[in-house]
A and B are shown apart, each in its own frame.
Chain A
């Protein structure tokens, strides 16, 4: 089990933001290199700090305390979290986020952001690099997770990925490696949808609190407490 906890202090410093990266335990090799690379590139961006990078993350890290989780000290303590693994068919058309043999979580137990049930949370974006979590029969249940978190970024269908995609995503988010810094939305779509023979069948989907965060959020430019209401938007590429 490899886990790197880079901050043990739960103190919210002005302009100190945290990222956390989880890679399901049944992945390895090049995929672990890619996950670590993602965290390192974000970490090198001013004001960002690595909070956790783990190849054995647990579903409890994203679950709300009232559902038996510990998200306040892990996923909801970080502004940006990312989970890559195999999703889980929970039946009835619902797809959960999988953590390999360490379990899964469905949307009923996840509430991220400052309006979560305990009114605690700093989550701004959750990247879910897993298959079909946001397919048509599944994404409506995940909308309830948006309790202050600006966007959940995932896929409508089964995603095909390269072992360099996470580092490309990080480069796009931060404007490094020759990339120019993009909005969070564009960075995600441009990484995972391309006419390149590999990503062309992917259908990426973002659940967002509103068009303002989707149009404008960048890694160093976001409103930490965007207004939360019952209306969300669903962005799909390609449609």
Chain B
């Protein structure tokens, strides 16, 4: 017969052993897991109050996606005086950057030459821009020529990325419906998926002049894997954002859309892409299609992004 005291000791030992075993087999979230920020942290979709609900029609196959994907951590370069000077020289800018006024903190390095300004951000992204002259060009290069001109310029300045997976052209700056420049967008991929909105944009103007270059190509390293929401679940979230009459609060955004004041959306393409924000490249579902509004003369291009990470597990 087991004595009560011995029984108590035995039960205590079993409980302690169970707790130890559980803690070894199911560790508490590591620092890495805890620190993953919301995908849309610090950014906001301004939104529209009182917009009519949008009818959503899916006119494409839902994509096959894995259950898990890798999240990447962005490796920010050390952008200092030397880095900025080297980049400026690479792009043909001489001299010193725009000085700071007394008491200011440097937000950016800016170099000026006769025609353009070059901005080097502290995250390594670049803007090269000519001051706008709204005079309509007599002629613009064809879209194919614009691509060739942009590629030549990027190659000559050692900026062309090996990760470019797709090119797209469309008017960049328009006055009264007439294009002043044609934008060539070089899209890049990371881990086999497009990096949404990252890459290089080159705006080409009259006589093939390079008017604007906007480039963001962050370096990154694999961080950890995450489970994905299903496409159906993401579609449900998109529909919710397109039917609620009030904009969502800025905290914990799950969806970002490029328009809300219309009545019918035909989804023509759904892809998994990476979204760069708050130091990480995290997966989002990207819904693209046509937005119809009875009051607008044109069908508009719709883009909606939904957080693809299943944050309930």
Contacts and interface: CB of A to CB of B under 8 A. Distances in A.
Nearest to A130: B46
Contacts of A136: 296-298
A196 B172 contact: no
A30 B42 CA distance: 8
B261 A201 contact: no
B110 interface: yes
A175 to B, nearest CB: 7
A200 B114 CA distance: 28
Interface string A61-105: 000000000000000000000001111111011010010000010
B44 interface: yes
B38 interface: no
Given A179-B108, A239-B173, A197 B260 contact: no
Interface string B219-254: 000000000000000000000000000110010000
A119 interface: no
A130 B49 CA distance: 11
B271 interface: no
Contact of B110 (A87, A98, A178): A178
Contacts of A7: none
Interface stretch (B1-9, B17-25, B94-102, B158-166): B94-102
A30 B215 CA distance: 27
Given A89-B261, A196-B214, A238-B172, A161 B107 contact: no
Interface in A152-209: 157-163, 168, 171, 175-180, 182-183, 185-186, 189-190, 194-203
22 contacts: A31-B44, A89-B52, A89-B261, A93-B293, A93-B294, A104-B49, A129-B46, A160-B46, A162-B43, A175-B98, A178-B100, A178-B110, A179-B98, A179-B107, A186-B132, A195-B197, A196-B214, A196-B216, A197-B195, A197-B197, A200-B196, A211-B175
